[in-house]
Structure 1
Amino acid sequence: MELDIVDLSRLQFAITALYHFLFVPLTLGLSVLLAIMETVYVMTGRTIWRQMTKFWGTLFGINFVLGVATGIVMEFQFGMNWSYYSHYVGDIFGAPLAIEGLMAFFLEATFVGLFFFGWDKLSRIGHLATTWAVAIGSNLSALWILIANGWMQNPVGSSFNPQTMRMEVTDFFAVLFNPVAQAKFVHTVSAGYVTASIFVLGVSAWYLLKGRHQMLARRSMTVAASFGLAASLSVVVLGDESGYLTTEHQKMKLAAIEGMWKTEPAPAAFTAFGFPDQEERTTHYAVHIPWVMGLIGTRSLTTQIEGIEDLVARAETHIRNGIVAYDALQKIRAAGSDDAIPADVRAAFEDKGRELGYALLLKRYVDDPGQATDAQIAEAARDTVPYVPVLFWSFRFMVGLGFYFIALTAVFFYLSSRRRLDRYPGLLRLAVLSIPLPWIAAELGWVVAEFGRQPWIIEGILPTAAAVSDLGAATVLATILGFAAIYTVLFIVEMSLMIAAIRKGPEPDHEPETPIAPAQLVSAE
């Protein structure tokens, strides 16, 4: 079988990205839970809350280190495997990543050290401020990374410069306040909060089943159930917002998620179940729920959601316009200076330039898009359809898990409020078994987000096939195998350390309880 450099580069980035995201959600969620627990400790002076903060902080630290190590690898890949992408959009994509490193990661990394080694050197208020700084830094890191990713999904505030052959920032605030990026941020961090809550819930349930550390386990479960229920509900609400924005900016992704091959009369039905068939372009045994998709996708009863076939026809029109832009670009490049560019050429590029990326889809079939046949244009238009079955089922499993988390956290919230956490061993075992499920849901979410915009690395601007480095397939395959081996070792080390820390349990804390009055909180250093 011939090895394809594009597919191998995509596979490598997918492996490293999905592996890295095993650590990100737990870091996001645990950082906030630690801050909540220590806040209760400072307000009450009860040492059990300090003990809880230290114990869950140990697990946070193990996870944080692995997250940093795997995240650095991903950033190197942009220059190594995706060099043309880095050249094409580095002026835009690089800025949020640089800000993330300077503003957020350094903040988080600095205060992580103070969190672990400052317990006996900082005042209670000082250490609490440190813990909140860690939480804020973690979430700011996610914000800037998701601003960069959101721009790839909805490339606003930028334009293509034909002289430099690069995308350049025209409005940084449009990039910063990109609605897709903001929706992805709140949705992602909420998913991280759910992940940490289910993790704390499951580990605490294991302690109750074993009859160990029951004071810590009960309080931890109460915090996790409350925080997790709020986060689970917000994930559903914010996911609805993401769906609405997808309707506006990524119509093909939404149609593929829904398995909607034909445009339906408004309001469109939601396909609860079915078997999408990419070859026959239909969804077999589909079970529809009337109106639901129209309400989710358009928030109206009169607006249509376009089907895949109509979107393919629209893509063909975009490709033909892109060929005009590509031809004008060649003439602009040949002119050498602005003064030498004919007015009609300039006007053609200004009119069709935004569709230039669609012409680049033809590079898979012909060196010069202007020489493409009608059959090649039709085939390139068909390439804009991602693989529907993967998106269809990934989305439904993710959503199903989301509603399961709401039910699970709601049950434990009720039990904690009634002080009945240890009366139902079956539910405690269910909580333990549920620990890996938020990670599965989060990984499925990224599959939907990233797989769903193929064949684009930047939606409508740059095809994935045009963004790779000029490397040999054997080189990329070797690095994939190397990463797989290293990451397997790291995973074993991570799990061994986490399991060992959980089995050991919290360290005894002999600090005397000294409750702080509200007036003391105000005047504390």
Structure 2
Amino acid sequence: MDVAELSRLQFALTALYHFLFVPLTLGLSVLLAIMESVYVMTGLRVWRDMTIFWGILFGINFAMGVATGITMEFQFGTNWSYYSQYVGDVFGAPLAIEGLMAFFLEATFIGLFFFGWDRLSKPGHLAVTWCVALGSNFSALWILVANAWMQNPVGSRFNPDTIRMEVTDFLAVLFNPVAQSKFVHTVAAGYVTGAIFVLAIGAWYLLHGRHRAFARRSMTVAASFGLASALSVVVLGDESGYVTTENQKVKLAAMEGLWRAEPPPAAFTIFGIPDPERRETRYAIQAPWMLGLIATRSLTTVIPGIYELVDAAKTRIGRGVEAYGAMRSLTSAEPSADMRKTIEERQGDLGYALLLRRYTDDPAKATPEQIERAAWDTIPNVPVIFWSFRVMVALGFYFIALFAVMFYVSSRRAFERRRWLLRLAFWSLPLPWIAAELGWIVAEYGRQPWIIEGVLPTFLAASPIPAANVWLSLVGFFIFYSALLVVDLFLMAKYVRLGPAETWEIPDLATRQAPPGGVALDDVAHG
């Protein structure tokens, strides 16, 4: 493995570890705000206990997310220095704003959440909790704005004098259609993760006959919130697919195992075995018209297949070679108006010429065979993308079914009479994380070979450092992150086993003093 491949592996490792904590932070933050809102409106002590208990688990998870996120961002300077130099003017701004959101605004409100229970009024503390939820979501927004620009680099242009990408329209970067669809889809997936987490732990309490009033209320909130969120994930995922059709046709073709364009409207492949060697999808089971309707919102639009997209890439490589030659001329001769005009007209294809740098030092001298290989390099690993997408979608529909059944059971107050359902809810605990990680595999692995779609190939973006250095840091990160994950799971399990009434000292209230190990009797009497 070369330095670029090792750096990719290290970033993938740290990113996947980091995203074990992010979705739960997003989901629990909103659930905390909902639970405390009910407490403020009703005054029932059990809702306060719920907010504090789930808040402790939220705090553990948030601390781990911060610890893993900081080191991930540092890699842009250590492992991806040319990337940072090439696009730092665009990419740096959203990251800087995210840092302000996460480490100043959000962290401040989290401190007030934990230490302000006896120092703030009920409405004041509720406002703080909602600010924690909003801060968590806005922090995710800026990261996803930066990531969306890598998928669809709008609002920027290439400056041939500085050899850098520069911002031309920050609002276009902010309101990038890919950013909008990714944000709502990712946040909704985080809500599903938080709801499954609460549902699973509540089910565990009921299975063991502990904290019944606490568990029933928690599961009722999780079931209703989770059902709305799971439905939103599917709807917003459909919109994300439509945006992918507009901006990343290669990724869509890989997701569908679509090797050649079909007569519109294209069929959706429910099951199949993509064969990269034979360049076909074998044993395909298809649903007629579905892909055309989902991906294009029409019955007449043709969806190009992989072969057609490779042909288009060859054309763009040819145009990019012209721009590359003009760039070389700018550094070796007096700049002319014709050279600059060529660069201006062909700068959108310059990145395709850079794909040839894998095979030749001078893309202008590339052979037809090298151009052919570079064009096929634009196709990601089809089987990985194909199956990751289908497992993710299948889990999404499973979540809808689980939450719908749980919502019905909660309306009938029959949780404890459905022990098989409680077991199913508990064993579903890891599934939203699996779905989220698969979603990122589709998004990021499906973008290869680009670190910035159509602009900069990944293999050119890595830092010129010895491979041994990357191996050393990779092993170190793996050990450190694994230790953090073990600590996180230990702390989570510890406080879950202790339960909501034993994890903190409950202050006396004049009318609702809870006995040790339980909730107040009048809370139980009120349902």
TM-score > 0.5 by shorter chain: yes
Letter of the structure 2 residue corresponding to residue 299 of structure 1: R
**Out of 260, 263, 267, which is 1:262 matched to?**
260
Q: State whether residues 46 and 513 of structure 1, in contact with CA within 8 Å, keep that contact through their aligned partners in structure 2.
A: no
Letter of the structure 1 residue corresponding to residue 362 of structure 2: D
Deviation at 1:104, TM superposition (A): 4.5
1:326 aligns with 2:324: yes
User: Counterpart of 1:424?
Assistant: 418
Q: Report the secondary structure of 1:422's partner residue.
A: helix
Deviation at 1:346, TM superposition (A): 1.8
Work out the CA distance in 1 between the residues paired with 2:509 and 2:151. Answer: 51
User: Counterpart of 2:32?
Assistant: 34
Work out the CA distance in 2 between the residues paired with 1:511 and 1:45. Answer: 11
Letter of the structure 1 residue corresponding to residue 396 of structure 2: G
User: Counterpart of 1:481?
Assistant: 475
User: Counterpart of 1:273?
Assistant: 271
Letter of the structure 1 residue corresponding to residue 140 of structure 2: A
Work out the CA distance in 2 between the residues paired with 1:486 and 1:205. Answer: 32
Work out the CA distance in 1 between the residues paired with 2:245 and 2:367. Answer: 31
1:350 aligns with 2:344: yes
Q: Which runs of 5 or more structure 1 residues have no equivalent in the other structure? A: 515-525
**Out of 499, 515, 527, which is 1:505 matched to?**
499
Q: Which runs of 5 or more structure 2 residues have no equivalent in the other structure? A: 513-527
Q: State whether residues 163 and 333 of structure 1, in contact with CA within 8 Å, keep that contact through their aligned partners in structure 2.
A: no
User: Counterpart of 2:87?
Assistant: 89
What do you get for the CA RMSD once the two structures are aligned?
A: 1.0
User: Counterpart of 2:225?
Assistant: 227
User: Counterpart of 1:155?
Assistant: 153
Q: State whether residues 6 and 465 of structure 1, in contact with CA within 8 Å, keep that contact through their aligned partners in structure 2.
A: yes
Q: State whether residues 267 and 300 of structure 1, in contact with CA within 8 Å, keep that contact through their aligned partners in structure 2.
A: yes
Letter of the structure 2 residue corresponding to residue 497 of structure 1: L
User: Counterpart of 2:10?
Assistant: 12
User: Counterpart of 1:287?
Assistant: 285
User: Counterpart of 1:518?
Assistant: none
Relative distance call for 1:308 and 1:513 in structure 2 (3 A) is farther
Work out the CA distance in 2 between the residues paired with 1:513 and 1:137. Answer: 34
Work out the CA distance in 2 between the residues paired with 1:422 and 1:173. Answer: 52
1:364 aligns with 2:358: yes
Deviation at 1:513, TM superposition (A): 5.4
User: Counterpart of 2:451?
Assistant: 457
Deviation at 1:103, TM superposition (A): 3.4
Work out the CA distance in 1 between the residues paired with 2:341 and 2:193. Answer: 52
Q: How does 1:123-134 map to 2 (within 5 A)?
A: 123-134=121-132
Work out the CA distance in 2 between the residues paired with 1:322 and 1:453. Answer: 19
Can you list the C-alpha shifts for 1:234-280, whole angstroms capped at 9, x where unaligned? 00000000000000000000000000000000000000001101111
Q: State whether residues 316 and 381 of structure 1, in contact with CA within 8 Å, keep that contact through their aligned partners in structure 2.
A: yes
Q: Report the secondary structure of 2:492's partner residue.
A: helix
User: Counterpart of 1:210?
Assistant: 208
Q: Under a length normalisation based on structure 2, what TM-score does the superposition of the two structures give?
A: 0.95
Letter of the structure 2 residue corresponding to residue 7 of structure 1: E
Deviation at 1:512, TM superposition (A): 4.4
User: Counterpart of 1:135?
Assistant: 133
Q: Report the secondary structure of 1:438's partner residue.
A: helix
User: Counterpart of 2:298?
Assistant: 300
Q: Report the secondary structure of 2:451's partner residue.
A: strand
Deviation >4 Å, runs of 4+: none
Q: Report the secondary structure of 2:266's partner residue.
A: coil
Number of equivalenced pairs: 508
Work out the CA distance in 1 between the residues paired with 2:282 and 2:103. Answer: 48
1:54 aligns with 2:52: yes
Can you list the C-alpha shifts for 1:190-234, whole angstroms capped at 9, x where unaligned? 000000000000000000000000111000000000000000000
Work out the CA distance in 2 between the residues paired with 1:285 and 1:151. Answer: 37
1:380 aligns with 2:374: yes
Q: Report the secondary structure of 1:215's partner residue.
A: helix
Deviation at 1:70, TM superposition (A): 0.1
Work out the CA distance in 1 between the residues paired with 2:302 and 2:483. Answer: 50
User: Counterpart of 1:439?
Assistant: 433
Work out the CA distance in 2 between the residues paired with 1:174 and 1:114. Answer: 35
